[in-house]
C-alpha cells in the first residue's frame, strides 16, 4: 500500500516540484494549500505571494496537471493568532520578529501535520531547501545541496516527531535543477519568481501595515542619542529596526544608525555604526535537534539572520533555560526578536529567539 503524503502547495515552483518528485517516488500525494489570508481585498488580490488567491489558482493548476487531489484548507484563525498578531506584538515591543520562523513552527509543521494525519497521511511535505537524515535513533536536519537557497535557518524549531513525519525532496537539488524539472514536465510555474516579501504584507511596508491593524497605538516619538538627548521626531517605533540607516527622515550631518528601540519611552536611539557591533547575546525559546538539552558550553557556527554567513561562536546553557551566545568576532546589528541559529559543520544544531544583547 502506498504511503500517503500531504504536500503544502504554495503555487510556487518548489512545492510544485515537491509534489511531482514524491509522486514519482511512489507516494500517494495529496496537494493542500493553506488558506491564511484575512478579509482584505488588496491582500486577496495580491500577485505572487504564497498567501494570495492567485497562488491558490497556480497550485490548483499544478495539482490538475499532476493528477493529484487538491484541497484548500482554512488556517486563517491560527495564522492570525500565531503569525500576524505575534508579528504586530513584537514590533510594538521594539523587537523585529521573523514571521517565517513562526509560520513554520505553528502552521506548516504543526497545524498542517495534524490535518495531514487526520486525512490518514503519514507525512507532510514542503518545498523547503533542507535535508532530513536519520542517524541511529535520531533525526537530523542537514543544509541543502544548494547553499544559496538553504532554508535551515527558519527550520530550527522542528521536533523529532515532526522530522520523522516530514519530507523535503528539494533539499537534494540545486534551484536551477528544480526549475528545469518543472519546465520539462510542463508546469507553467517553472519560471515564477521566488516570493521574498512578507506574505501577508504585499507592499512590504510593515510599519504602515501595523499602524492600520492597531489604530491609535502607533505613536510618534523622539529620536535620542545614547545620553538621552532629543535629536528629532520619529513616526512610530514599528517603522525601525536595529542597524537601520536609510529612511530615518533625520539629517544630523553624519551617518547615524538605529542602536536601540525603547517601547516604554517610545524612543529610538541613534548612534554611530561602531555602536551596532556586538559579540554576545542571550537567546530564549531554544530548540535543539541532535540532542534534547545542551549540558555544557559547545563550539558552533552561528548566524543571527537568514542572509548572514555562519561564524564561530560558543553557546552556554543558562539556569533559566536560555542560552548565552558568544561570537569570536563582532556581529553587525544583533536584533532582539530575530533568530540565532547554530550549526555543526553541515548539520543544524538548533536555535532560539534573540532576547538580550550584551
> Annotation-wise, does 15 bind a ligand?
yes
Judge whether 199 counts as a catalytic residue: yes
**Per-residue pLDDT tens over the stretch 6-41:** 999 999 999 999 999 999 999 999 999 999 876 654
Check whether 43 has a pLDDT greater than 60: no
> Annotation-wise, does 85 bind a ligand?
no
Of 51, 100, 103, 170, the catalytic one is: 103
Q: Which residues contact 218 (CB under 8 A, 6 or more apart)?
A: 92, 207, 210, 211, 236, 237, 238
**Per-residue pLDDT tens over the stretch 268-299:** 999 999 999 999 999 999 999 999 999 999 99
| Cell, residue 269 | 536611539
Average pLDDT over residues 140-145: 95
Higher pLDDT, 191 or 317: 317
> Annotation-wise, does 14 bind a ligand?
yes
Check whether 58 has a pLDDT greater than 60: yes
Q: Which residues contact 241 (CB under 8 A, 6 or more apart)?
A: 96, 258, 261, 333, 335
> Annotation-wise, does 13 bind a ligand?
yes
Indicate the pTM of the whole model.
Answer: 0.93
**Per-residue pLDDT tens over the stretch 256-276:** 999 999 999 999 999 999 999
Percent of the chain with pLDDT over 70: 95
> Annotation-wise, does 34 bind a ligand?
yes
Count CA atoms closer than 13 A to 62's CA, side-chain side. 35
Average pLDDT over residues 186-208: 86
Judge whether 103 counts as a catalytic residue: yes
Q: Binning pLDDT at 50, 70 and 90, where does residue 51 land?
A: low
Check whether 329 has a pLDDT greater than 80: yes
Q: What is the mean pLDDT of the chain?
A: 93
Amino acid at each position: 500500500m502506498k504511503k500517503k503524503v500531504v504536500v503544502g502547495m504554495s503555487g510556487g515552483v518548489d512545492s510544485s516540484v515537491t509534489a511531482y518528485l514524491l509522486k514519482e517516488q511512489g507516494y500517494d500525494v495529496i496537494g493542500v494549500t493553506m488558506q491564511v489570508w484575512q478579509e482584505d481585498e488588496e491582500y486577496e488580490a495580491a500577485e505572487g505571494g504564497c498567501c494570495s488567491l492567485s497562488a491558490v489558482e497556480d497550485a490548483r493548476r499544478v495539482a490538475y496537471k499532476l493528477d493529484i487531489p487538491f484541497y484548500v484548507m482554512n488556517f486563517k484563525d491560527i495564522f492570525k493568532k500565531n503569525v500576524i498578531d505575534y508579528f504586530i506584538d513584537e514590533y510594538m515591543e521594539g523587537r523585529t520578529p521573523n514571521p517565517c520562523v513562526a509560520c513554520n513552527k505553528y502552521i506548516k509543521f504543526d497545524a498542517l501535520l495534524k490535518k495531514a494525519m487526520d486525512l490518514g497521511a503519514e507525512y507532510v511535505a514542503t518545498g523547503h531547501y533542507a535535508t532530513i537524515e536519520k542517524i541511529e535513533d535520531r533525526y537530523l536536519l542537514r543544509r541543502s545541496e544548494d547553499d544559496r537557497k538553504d532554508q535551515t535557518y527558519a527550520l530550527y524549531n522542528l521536533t523529532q516527531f515532526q522530522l520523522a513525519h516530514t519530507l523535503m525532496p528539494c533539499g537534494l537539488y540545486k534551484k536551477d535543477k528544480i526549475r528545469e524539472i518543472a519546465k520539462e514536465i510542463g508546469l507553467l510555474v517553472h519560471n515564477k519568481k521566488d516570493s521574498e516579501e512578507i506574505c501577508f504584507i504585499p507592499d512590504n511596508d510593515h510599519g504602515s501595515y501595523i499602524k492600520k491593524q492597531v489604530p491609535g497605538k502607533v505613536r510618534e516619538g523622539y529620536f535620542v542619542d545614547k545620553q538621552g538627548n532629543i535629536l528629532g521626531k520619529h513616526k512610530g517605533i514599528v517603522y525601525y529596526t536595529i542597524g537601520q540607516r536609510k529612511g530615518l527622515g533625520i539629517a544630523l550631518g553624519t551617518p547615524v544608525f538605529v542602536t536601540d528601540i525603547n517601547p516604554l519611552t517610545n524612543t529610538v536611539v541613534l548612534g554611530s555604526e561602531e555602536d551596532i557591533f556586538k559579540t554576545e547575546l542571550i537567546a530564549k525559546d531554544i530548540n535543539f535537534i541532535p540532542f534534547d538539552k545542551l549540558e555544557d558550553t559547545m563550539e558552533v557556527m552561528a548566524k543571527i539572520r537568514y542572509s548572514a554567513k555562519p561564524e564561530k561562536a560558543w553557546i552556554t546553557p543558562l539556569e533559566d533555560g536560555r542560552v548565552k551566545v558568544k561570537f569570536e568576532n563582532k556581529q553587525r546589528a544583533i536584533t532582539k526578536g530575530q533568530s540565532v541559529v547554530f550549526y555543526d559543520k553541515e548539520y543544524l544544531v538548533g536555535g532560539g529567539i534573540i532576547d538580550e544583547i550584551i
